[in-house]
Amino acid sequence: MNPTLIIDLVYALVVIVVCIKIISDTESAAKTHAYLLMAIFVPVVGMLFYFFFGINYRKRRRYNKKLLSDEKRLQSLNDRIMQDSTRNLKMHAREVGDGAGLVQMLLNENYSPLTFGNCVKLLTNGEEKFPQVIQALKGAVHHIHLEYYIYEDDTIGNAIKDLLIRKAREGVEVRLIYDDFGSHSIRRRVVNELRQAGAEAYPFHHIRLRFFANRLNYRNHRKIIIIDGRCGFVGGINISDRYLNPSSGRDSPYWRDTHIRIDGPGMLYLQHIFLCDWIYCSGQTIHNESVYFNRTEIHIENTGVQIAACGPDSPVATIQFSFLKAIGLARHEILITTPYFIPGESIMDALRVAALGGVKVKLLVPGESDSKLVNAAACSYYADLLDTGVEIYLYNKGFIHAKTMVVDIAIAMVGTANMDNRSFELNFEVNAIVYSAAFAREVRSAFYNDLRDASQIDPADWEKRPLIRRLPERIARLLSPLL
């Protein structure tokens, strides 16, 4: 038999086997189509891409991160969360308003408690976040927990490192979880210095070969700080000098981002998330876990907070569901800021339905993204939204990295999740949902302030763009389930 024919037959058999695996293991129809196209029409490379980046860990449940192994205690805790949250929902029905369905969804899905008695502070850019973080770290007396996607070995990174070393030597428990991909610059010197001082630091996943590691698709994108179980920070700002705009030179891009500080019981679920992740990446058992949950104080500012978290270990895409539910609750206005907009069909349909129903929908995205492929894919969605009356604004002052949503000056979301498939299914993410008209008004004001540095897309002009611009965007859209 002709050797070339044998090779062709063997290759065809391999392609068939890989396609069967893709179909059986991939839950999303859009992702299945994309992987199949790559496997069939991009010889060898398409199949390698799937094995490196497309293995479905959601089915494999690799992430065993229970804080409580005792099922009875766990059930008792979940029952108490349901009871307390139901009571809070009734007592604060006015503050929660139309958000009751969103509260209940998060309770039913992952027992995320609804808490009141919180003080929530909006922090714009690193200029506002880092002074607050440093002040809070200096006051730590029992423990400091940090979990970050990007922790840089730079000026602000070393300033925080030095403070952590000082607190560790004072006897404060210091724990750091860092993503081994995003925080690769601290692997050696910074991490070693922390450990030598008595702090503990672990990568969420240890990556040996960065390019070939299939777990690059499962990044820990969270940015969490918890101090003494009394205050917490969460949002889009990593530990990096790039977020300190006043210290940047003229050639450095302006980074616009948003973070929040939570004082009160609202940060307890952030603590829960951190400790579960710590168990997973450190292999340790948390003894006497109650000491990390009994230090919160009730504050005069009676703000409602609930946390939405998800990752490949989640049975459903919790954050995507929370976006969908919140969009469906809107009666007047939806304001969305996201640096990466590859929404998928469900989010697209929800936004279009809202706009057609008379809700004012405004979307703020970067004028220039840090990824040309992602930017092209995002642009492919704009025409469908513009046709239904959605207003789209391109931020021109620099790179907008904030991830926020405001619904009807009643509900505000601030967190780490972008509005894309990677955040919904592939990364470990966390968002804070704040039920407060006053706080929602603050985030809304920040949104409209950002519009001063943005240009609105004119639907007629967008429709007239030449084919040479539209065609690459449509091609990039074919890969959007994988981006």
Q: Are 220 and 247 in contact (CB under 8 A)?
A: no
pLDDT of the residue at 408: 95
Q: Are residues 361 and 434 in the same domain?
A: yes
Q: 122 pLDDT exceeds 60?
A: yes
For 143-167, give the DSSP string.
EEEEEES-B-SSHHHHHHHHHHHHH
Q: How many domains does the chain have?
A: 3
**pLDDT tens digits, one per residue of 102-113:** 999 999 888 899
Same domain flag for 289 and 338: no
The backbone torsions φ and ψ at residue 456, rounded to the nearest 5 degrees and listed phi first, read -80, 135
- Has residue 215 got a pLDDT over 50? no
Mark whether 43 and 145 lie in a shared domain: no
Is 90 exceeded by the pLDDT of residue 442?
yes
What residue has token string 């407060």? 436
Q: Is the pLDDT of residue 69 over 80?
A: no
For residues 322 and 298, state if they share a domain: no
CB atoms under 10 Å from CB of 394, counted, come to 18
pLDDT at 428 over 90: yes
Q: Please check whether residues 279 and 177 belong to one and the same domain.
A: yes
Virtual CA dihedral for 120, 122, 125, 128, nearest 10 degrees? -70
Is 90 exceeded by the pLDDT of residue 402? yes
Q: What is the DSSP letter of 239?
A: B
- Domain end, chosen from 303, 331, 363, is at 303
Confidence band of 201 (pLDDT split at 50, 70, 90): very high
For residue 258, what are its two tokens? 């948003």
Least confident of 33-47, 188-202, 216-230, 322-336: 33-47
- Segments forming the whole domain that contains residue 352: 318-482
Mean pLDDT (the chain, rounded): 85
* pLDDT at 59 (0 to 100): 43
CA count, 13 A, side-chain hemisphere, 294:
4
**Mean pLDDT for the stretch of residues 142-169:** 96
Residue 344 pLDDT = 84
Whole-model pTM? 0.86
- 83 and 26 housed in the same domain: no
Tell me the per-residue pLDDT of 340-356, one tens digit each, with 9 for 90 and over: 999 888 999 999 999 99
Beta bridge pairs of residue 260: 122, 234
Active site amino acids: 221, 223, 228, 401, 403, 408
d(CA 151, CA 178): 7
> Facing residues of 239 across strands?
151
Mean per-residue pLDDT for 178-186?
A: 92
348 and 453: one domain? Answer: yes
Of the listed ranges 18-22, 40-44, 312-316, 401-405, the least confidently predicted one is 40-44
